[in-house]
A and B are shown apart, each in its own frame.
Chain A
Amino acid sequence: MKVRILVRLKPGVLDPQGRAVHHSLESLGFDGVEDVRIGRMIEMQVADDTSDEALTRMCEQLLANMVIEDFAIEKLTPSGEPA
């Protein structure tokens, strides 16, 4: 089973990288960009019987830092589409 984990900074946590990228987009002349937040995507191939609970624990214990980040777990079809 293919799983995609999205790790994002929690709302309200200042994202200096996002702010710098936002600024760069504006300096390239792109109008209308209101906010940029940068996160991390982790793709994993796991055994088909891996439980949701185990995936959640992986995120809480290592893949995300729960002090500053939220995560979302997405299961994918073999072709990489959302299951």
Chain B
Amino acid sequence: MAFRAAVITFPGSNCDRDMAVALESVSGEAAIRVWHGDADLPDQLDLIALPGGFSYGDYLRSGAMAAKSPVLRAVVAAAERGVPVLGVCNGFQVLTESGLLPGALMRNAGQRFVCKTVELEVANTTSPFTSGFAAGERLRVPVAHHDGNYFADEATLDALEAENRIAFRYCDNPNGSRRDIAGVLSANGRVLGMMPHPERAMEPAAHASLGGADGRKIFENVIASLVDA
């Protein structure tokens, strides 16, 4: 069955095309492009992707305006039905602002925009996005953000750890995130928000200067998990 993924574009998104290209390169199916003002999503989606960028110019707070846009109500409803949702960078900020994921993404502790390839450690191996990884497996994936400093109160952080909801941790924390958190899962494991950009790490190892290919595995995992289901 054809893999149906939707990529949402907000005014100011700038990784939406990369996300669509990444999804198509793994699934062989063109991703459906959805505009922020649409009140409805296409039917029978296998994945919804919220891309990186600067939705609404980061006005008020990163992701705050996008989280209140019409299409997000449809995304929240789809997530509640169990449709997998992947939010990358600004998409992660939108997921926390919308309440689909706990916590908030604050200004980087070092105050600077951080743009480099970082090493991640896989912490969860049971979600649709991470089931193909070995625990502790290391990935190299680029980050590019100013507001990537993951914050949640201690009780929330303890609960995330107890419920195995931390997907990835930074090996060398670039932004001050609490407990080195780079990616967080929803309670049912079907919503993933992460600051690093897997869609920018899609080329084979021969092109390591282009970010390597470790991001591809995240897309392969989610597609494989749906085919198996």
Chain A interface (Cβ < 8 Å from any Cβ of B) = 13-14, 16-17, 20, 61-63, 65, 67-68
**Quick check: B103 and A16 within 8 Å, CB to CB?**
no
Assembled-state Cα–Cα distance A62/B72 (Å) = 14
Assembled-state Cα–Cα distance A20/B109 (Å) = 10
- Residues in A with CB closer than 8 Å to B102 are 67
**Quick check: A65 and B176 within 8 Å, CB to CB?**
no
- Residues in B with CB closer than 8 Å to A20 are 111
Which listed residue, A16, A61, A68, touches B111 by the CB 8 Å rule? Answer: A16
Assembled-state Cα–Cα distance A19/B107 (Å) = 12
Given the interface pairs A16-B149, A62-B64, the reply to whether A67 lies near B107 with Cβ below 8 Å is no
Question: Count the B residues whose beta carbon is within 8 Å of the partner chain — how many?
Answer: 20
**Which A residue sits closest to B152, measured CB to CB?**
A67
- Residues in B with CB closer than 8 Å to A67 are 96, 102-104, 151-153
**Quick check: A68 and B107 within 8 Å, CB to CB?**
no
Chain A CB within 8 A of B121 CB: no
**Quick check: A65 and B97 within 8 Å, CB to CB?**
yes
Contact code string B70-108 (vs A, CB < 8 Å = 1, else 0): 000000000000000000000000001100001110111
Which 9 interchain pairs have the tightest Cβ spacing? Answer: A67-B104, A68-B104, A16-B109, A16-B107, A20-B111, A16-B111, A65-B104, A65-B61, A68-B151
- Residues in A with CB closer than 8 Å to B151 are 13, 67-68
- Residues in A with CB closer than 8 Å to B64 are 62, 65
**Which A residue sits closest to B107, measured CB to CB?**
A16
Dominant secondary structure of chain B at its interface with chain A: loop
Q: With both chains docked as a complex, state the minimum distance between the C-beta of B106 and any C-beta of chain A, in angstroms.
A: 6
Q: Which of B108, B151, B152, B176 has the most CB of A within 10 A?
A: B151
Q: With both chains docked as a complex, state the minimum distance between the C-beta of B35 and any C-beta of chain A, in angstroms.
A: 21
Assembled-state Cα–Cα distance A16/B146 (Å) = 12
- Residues in B with CB closer than 8 Å to A17 are 107, 111
Chain A CB within 8 A of B207 CB: no
- With A16-B109, A62-B64, A63-B60 given, name 17 new contacts (CB 8 A): A13-B106, A13-B151, A14-B176, A16-B106, A16-B107, A16-B108, A16-B110, A16-B149, A17-B107, A61-B68, A62-B60, A62-B68, A65-B61, A67-B102, A67-B103, A67-B151, A68-B104
Within 144-169 of B, Cβ neighbours of A (below 8 Å) are at: 149, 151-153
